[in-house]
Chains A and B, each alone.
Chain A
Amino acid sequence: GIQVEQSPPDLILQEGANSTLRCNFSDSVNNLQWFHQNPWGQLINLFYIPSGTKQNGRLSATTVATERYSLLYISSSQTTDSGVYFCAVLPSNDYKLSFGAGTTVTVRA
């Protein structure tokens, strides 16, 4: 099956700092989403971005499908940005949404 690798596994930031999270995938995909999992376990949609660039407030994402990676940018981080960020992909030749292992972000005041 498709391999989804996220880096770094852990990230500690000072409030106000910027950061970049990366998601590499091993095969072509029809669907790529970024999620933030809150402390209670709910996955919150951040972006649906199989290709191109999108921005939403302090967050933005870019997917380069031909090179099989996606980036999530967090600017001017706040303590409420803490949590686990997941990348999930739907392979073009399969119908199972596959998740990376996640990046745990801790933002310190």
Chain B
Amino acid sequence: KAGVTQTPRYLIKTRGQQVTLSCSPISGHRSVSWYQQTPGQGLQFLFEYFSETQRNKGNFPGRFSGRQFSNSRSEMNVSTLELGDSALYLCASSFLGLAGGLTDTQYFGPGTRLTVL
């Protein structure tokens, strides 16, 4: 079974631009969650999508948004990029997701390393 894939792997943007990152979950998984990793703040939860619906959102500004398609692939968009958005963005997939009292193993992709200049 193929693992979680993320594209692109590396990205360089300038302040004020926007960016879209893509995540393809493991086949059969319905949940995709996104995380930001920075040296200062560590790993932080951005949001989770399950069957095309956003189920939960972390404490990030509205510039961070996402969506999920009917094939469970997910995209994350960051508008009006700031220097502080430079980070490793990770997505994870699972069958049951993070809500409802039943949870299971989260499988992570290799990440997209975003640099904002």
**Contacting pair A48 B99 (CB below 8 A):** no
**Contacting pair B111 A42 (CB below 8 A):** yes
**Contacting pair A43 B42 (CB below 8 A):** no
Q: How far is the CA of A44 from the CA of B106 in the complex (A)?
A: 10
Q: Is the interface of B mostly helix, strand, loop or mixed?
A: strand
Cβ of B80: which chain A residues have Cβ within 8 Å of it?
none
Contact partner of A33 among B33, B106, B109, B111, CB < 8 A? B106
Q: Interface 1/0s, chain B 82-117, versus A by CB < 8 A?
A: 000000101010000011011111111111010000
- Smallest CB–CB gap between B48 and chain A, Å? 7
Contact partner of B106 among A30, A88, A100, CB < 8 A? A88
Say whether A12 faces chain B, with CB atoms less than 8 Å apart.
no
Q: How far is the CA of A40 from the CA of B33 in the complex (A)?
A: 20
With A95-B48, A96-B58 already in contact, the answer to whether A101 and B106 are too (CB < 8 A) is no
